């Protein structure tokens, strides 16, 4: 192995890059039986920031650079040339330590579509056992849920009349009530469950890494930025990383496992010579494998937020902006782990179709009993609530490319939001349906006028313009190292990098396409399934 000046070299069976949603699962499962030694490298620090553990704390971590990569897209042509802020976790637990905590698996049909695209073993019946294996469902076990897993999935610990009124209003417009978005069907209106345990965040670091902490065969290194995968020919042999200003390397006897997330995994592959040959040459990087699909096919969920003024001072705006009510909420949380501080990125919501020709919902609504001009910024000084429209299966595709050979330089991210007619129409139609819900009788006592986009904006052009002016990410980038068997697919069905030995990618980047929901639970499922495959292949 060519160390190229790297200092100390240690040796492990598996070297995992990235302690995020996926990496922590791998670290736990691969070290569980004691047969294999595992090194887990994480660029960020330990998860000691207290806001990580309080659900509502995600608002504080949104722009907290000590635990966040804080990326930006390039100017987006479909959004009037705006750059879109892209928070990503840089800490033990990765994005599962800073995310909105919603537990939504997607639709059964998403996984059946993955299988139909040639990914044998990834249909809904194949992946359901892994969702269940991961899960500790506090409502109890049933055909769709497990109770023996490390990841605690719970109901919200706060009663909020607005969130309840939203569900009632949706039902009044003809959308069925759905008690479980992760059960037999996703369609309908109801309440989100969250990855929390007794009112505290259940990140993958909390759920998977903490229980494995004392194992002698698992080493976790924080503030360790992997800079390059080390190869012998086309076999991955180890990883070079920078920690405390020192260049170190670690050998992998069996495999190098890349779990850096949808932006950093393709970035590390490209930095290491696995990517589009032209791009690598442009940056003076020796080509190990010309893999044109690395960084290709980037997808993300866009959201457009409708803000309504509330007729009663019962929103989180009123609590946060009032010193006494704020203190009481803090005390309630400290004493009982209940109350407004347990609010996640959505309390209630709905999944519906914008067109009867569709087989499954194409829109997800996240409802939250607060309002702000921009996510992560100060809440409004007046009572307000927000319902956002998110298109579940965007056709728009983007790309991720390194900007330079410097491993610390942020990559160039292009998502191309709203670049197809289907995507644009889905948002315009989705806003219209949401407005019908917001005008339904159950919300009448609360809704005191639309703040954004404003009741005077009614034409298709005005609504689309609002989407372009204000749309932002739901933080779900995927598919930059997508699984498949076509020439642009990066990994095969066992998540092995095609054309390279001894290396897999295991994280949200391998999704063949973006599934119809929130991406944390599916990423954890992927890592559970990958762990089984890796251990099977080690026999
Ligand atoms: C603000 C926000 C809100 C979200 N809300 C929700 C939600 O409510 N529900 C939901 O289901 N999903 C949500 N998501 C998305 C979900 O959290 C992610 O899809 C999921 O965590 C991705 O997991 P991953 O393992 O692919 O990557 P990550 O969890 O991002 O992990 C990647 C890890 O690798 C580390 N890393 C990267 N490069 C290197 C390197 N070179 N060397 C060493 N370490 C490296 C990173 O620091 C990070 O810790 C949200 C995400 C964000 C950011």
DSSP character for 359? S
Q: Nearest Cα to 198, choosing from 154, 236, 233?
A: 154
Nearest ligand 1 atom to alpha carbon 520: 11
Tokens representing 494 are: 């066992």
Q: Which of 520, 526, 527, when mutated, tests ligand 1's pocket best, judged by the most ligand atoms within 8 Å of its CB?
A: 520
Q: Is the CB of 209 under 6 A from ligand 1?
A: no
* Pair 304, 389: CB distance under 8 Å: yes
What distance in angstroms lies between residue 20's CA and the mean position of ligand 1's atoms? Answer: 6
pLDDT tens digits for 11-57?
999 999 999 999 999 999 999 999 999 999 999 999 999 999 999 99
| 476 counts as catalytic | yes
pLDDT of residue 448: 97
Burial 206-235 (b: 16+ CB within 10 A, else e): bbbbbebeeeebbbbbbebbbbbbbbeeee
Above pLDDT 90, what percent of the chain? Answer: 96
- Pairing verdict, β 9-17 and 246-258: parallel
- Which tens digits make up the pLDDT trace of 432-443? 999 999 999 999
Q: What is the pLDDT of residues 81-124, one digit of tens each?
A: 999 999 999 999 999 999 999 999 999 999 999 999 999 999 99
Mean pLDDT rounded to a whole number for the chain: 97
Categorize the per-residue pLDDT at 6 as very low, low, confident or very high, splitting at 50, 70 and 90.
Answer: very low
Residue with tokens 């194409």: 362
DSSP reduced 3-state for 11: strand
CA proximity to 519, closest of 75, 100, 40: 100
Structure tokens at 281: 């040459």
Tell the residue nearest (CA) to atom 27 of ligand 1: 261
Phi, psi of 253 (to 5 degrees): -70, -40
Cα 141 to ligand 1 centre (Å)? 27
Cβ 190 under 6 angstroms from ligand 1: no
Tell me how far the alpha carbon of residue 33 lies from the centroid of ligand 1, in angstroms. 27
The answer to whether the CB of 226 is under 6 A from ligand 1 is yes
- Measured by CA distance, the residue closest to atom 1 of ligand 1 is 99
Give yes or no for residue 531 CB within 6 A of ligand 1.
no
Place of tokens 């992997």: 226
Give the 3-state secondary structure of residue 148: coil
The H or E element containing residue 60 is helix 58-61
Instruction: Please work out whether the CB of residue 208 comes within 6 Å of at least one atom of ligand 1.
Output: no
With 60 as the cut, is the pLDDT of residue 5 above it?
A: no
Q: Minimal CA–CA distance to 250: which of 42, 38, 502, 10?
A: 10
The 3-state secondary structure of 286-334, one letter per residue? CCCEECCCCCCCEECCEEEEEEEEECCCCCHHHHHCCHHHHHHHHHHHH
| Res 8: pLDDT | 61
CA 205 remoteness from chain centre:
15
Is there a contact between 314 and 442 (Cβ–Cβ < 8 Å)? Answer: no
CB 2 within 8 A of CB 187: no
Decide: residue 4, CB within 10 A, 0-12 exposed, 13-18 middle, 19+ buried. Answer: exposed
What is the mean predicted confidence (pLDDT) over 311-325?
97
Of 36, 108, 145, 476, the catalytic one is 476
The token pair at 141 is 């076990």
Helix (H) or strand (E) holding 521: helix 520-537
Q: Is the CB of 267 under 6 A from ligand 1?
A: no
Assign 2 a pLDDT band (cuts: 50, 70, 90).
Answer: very low
Backbone region of residue 521 per phi and psi (left: phi > 0; alpha: psi in -120 to 50; beta: other values): alpha
Q: Residue 387: beta bridge partners? A: 306, 367
**C-beta 475 within 6 A of ligand 1:** yes
**pLDDT reading at 7 higher than 90:** no
**What is the model's pLDDT at position 377?**
87
**For tokens 């917001």, what's the residue?**
438
pLDDT for res 157: 84
How remote is the CA of residue 210 from the centroid of ligand 1, in Å? 18
Tokens 């160390």 — which residue?
Answer: 3
């Amino acid at each position: 192995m060519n160390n190229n000046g790297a200092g100390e070299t240690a040796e492990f069976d598996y070297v995992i890059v990235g302690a995020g949603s996926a990496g922590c699962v791998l670290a736990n499962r691969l070290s569980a039986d004691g047969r294999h030694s595992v090194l887990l490298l994480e660029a960020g620090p330990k998860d000691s920031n207290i806001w990580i553990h309080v659900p509502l704390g995600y608002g504080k971590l949104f722009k907290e650079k000590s635990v966040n990569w804080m990326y930006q897209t390039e100017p987006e042509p479909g959004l009037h040339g705006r750059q879109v802020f892209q928070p990503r976790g840089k800490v033990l637990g990765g994005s599962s330590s800073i995310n909105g905590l919603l537990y939504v698996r997607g639709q059964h049909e998403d996984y059946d579509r993955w299988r139909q695209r040639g990914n044998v073993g990834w249909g809904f019946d194949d992946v359901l056992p892994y969702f269940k294996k991961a899960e500790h469902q506090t409502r109890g076990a049933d055909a769709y849920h497990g109770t023996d897993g490390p990841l605690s999935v719970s109901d919200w610990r706060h009663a909020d009349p607005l969130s309840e009124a939203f569900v009632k209003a949706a039902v009044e417009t003809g959308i069925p009530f759905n008690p479980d978005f992760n059960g037999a069907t996703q369609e309908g209106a109801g309440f989100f469950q969250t990855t929390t345990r007794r009112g505290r965040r259940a990140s993958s670091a909390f759920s998977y890494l903490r229980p494995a902490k004392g194992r002698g065969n698992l080493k976790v290194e924080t503030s360790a930025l992997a800079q390059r995968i080390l190869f012998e020919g086309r076999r991955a042999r180890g990883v070079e990383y920078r920690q405390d200003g020192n260049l170190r390397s670690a050998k992998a006897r069996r495999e190098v496992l890349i779990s850096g997330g949808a932006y950093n995994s393709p970035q590390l592959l490209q930095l290491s010579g696995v990517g589009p040959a032209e791009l690598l040459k442009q940056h003076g990087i020796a080509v190990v494998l010309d893999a044109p699909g690395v960084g290709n096919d980037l997808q993300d969920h866009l959201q457009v937020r409708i803000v309504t003024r509330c007729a009663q001072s019962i929103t989180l705006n009123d609590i946060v902006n009032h010193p006494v009510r704020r203190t009481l909420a803090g005390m309630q949380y400290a004493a009982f782990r209940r109350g407004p501080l347990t609010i996640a990125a959505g309390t209630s919501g709905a999944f519906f179709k914008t067109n009867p020709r569709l087989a499954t919902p194409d829109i997800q609504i996240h409802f939250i009993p607060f309002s702000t001009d921009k996510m992560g910024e100060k809440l409004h000084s007046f009572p307000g609530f927000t319902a956002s429209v998110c298109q579940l299966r965007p056709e728009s595709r983007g790309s991720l490319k390194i900007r330079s050979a410097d491993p610390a330089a942020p990559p160039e991210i292009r998502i191309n939001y709203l670049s197809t007619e289907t995507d644009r129409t889905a948002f315009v139609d989705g806003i219209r349906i949401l407005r019908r819900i917001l005008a339904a009788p159950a919300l009448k006592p609360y809704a005191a006028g639309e703040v954004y986009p404003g009741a005077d904006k009614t034409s298709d052009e005005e609504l689309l313009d609002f989407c372009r002016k204000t749309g932002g990410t739901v933080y779900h980038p995927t598919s930059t190292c997508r699984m498949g068997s076509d020439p642009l697919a990066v990994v095969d069905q066992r998540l092995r990098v095609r054309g390279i030995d001894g290396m897999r990618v295991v994280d949200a980047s391998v999704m063949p396409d973006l599934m119809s929901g929130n991406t944390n639970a599916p990423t954890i499922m992927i890592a559970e399934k990958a762990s089984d495959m890796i251990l099977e292949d080690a026999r």
